[in-house]
Chain A
Amino acid sequence: GAGVSQSPSNKVTEKGKDVELRCDPISGHTALYWYRQRLGQGLEFLIYFQGNSAPDKSGLPSDRFSAERTGESVSTLTIQRTQQEDSAVYLCASSSTGTSLDTQYFGPGTRLTVL
C-alpha cells in the first residue's frame, strides 16, 4: 500500500518568506508526527497529532512554527518569516494508533533551504 508522502520534496525560499509543507499519512493511521533533521544532526521532534486530541506542540522551536491536521488525514507544517537556521529536512511520520510500541513510518521528507 501507499506509504507516507510529503510535498514538495525540495523547497528553496528567501529569508523572511513563509512556507507550507504537506504530509499525507498512511490511510487509517490516527497518529501523525513532524520531525526536523538539520545537516549532521539527529532528528528533532516538532509536533504530534493523535486523532481529535489536542496536539503535543512541545517540540516546536518558536512561534513561527505551526501545524494543522484535518481529522485523520493531511497535515501542513507552516513556517512563517523563515530564517536560515530553519534550513533542514522536515520529516513526517505516521503510526496506526500512536502508542509507544507502534512503528512510526516516515515519509521521504521535504528538504528546505532558506537563502
Chain B
Amino acid sequence: RKEVEQDPGPFNVPEGATVAFNCTYSNSASQSFFWYRQDCRKEPKLLMSVYSSGNEDGRFTAQLNRASQYISLLIRDSKLSDSATYLCVIHNQAGTALIFGKGTTLSVSS
C-alpha cells in the first residue's frame, strides 16, 4: 500500500460547484497533515494544514479522520483560479520530510 493515496482525477466542474477530494494514508503514527496546491510546471505551495478537529479557510474546509486514516478537502463555490493539482501531504515518521500523494487534478470551467 502506498503511503499516501489520492484519486488522480481529473475532476472537471463548473464555476460555483462544490467539489471534494479524499486521501488515505498508511502510517497510523503520522502526526502532521497538509494540503498543498501545485499549478502546472510550478512548485507546490501550502494551501492549508489539517487539524484533528477540522479546519476552514474561506471556501476551503479540511477534515481528518484518524481512525480511518483519511483526509479530505472540500472546495465550495469553485473559481476558475482553483484549477490546479491538489496534493495530500503527511510528515514522515521521523518528522523530517514530507510524503506527497500524486495529487488530484481539478479543472474549473466557466
Residues of A within 8 A of B (CB): 33, 35, 40-45, 48, 50, 56, 59, 91, 98-101, 103-104, 106-109
Chain B interfacial residues counted at CB < 8 A: 22
* A109 in contact with B102 (CB, 8 Å): no
A-B contact count (CB 8 A): 48
Segment at the A interface, from B10-18, B38-46, B54-62:
B38-46
* A104 in contact with B31 (CB, 8 Å): no
* B45 in contact with A100 (CB, 8 Å): no
Which residues of A are found within 8 Å of B43, using beta-carbon distances?
91, 106-109
Interface on chain A toward B: helix, strand, loop, or mixed SS?
Answer: loop
A45 and B99 contact, Cβ closer than 8 Å, known pairs A106-B43, A107-B43, A108-B43: yes
> A103: nearest residue on chain B (CB-CB)?
B46
Interface on chain B toward A: helix, strand, loop, or mixed SS?
Answer: loop
* B97 in contact with A59 (CB, 8 Å): yes
* B94 in contact with A42 (CB, 8 Å): no
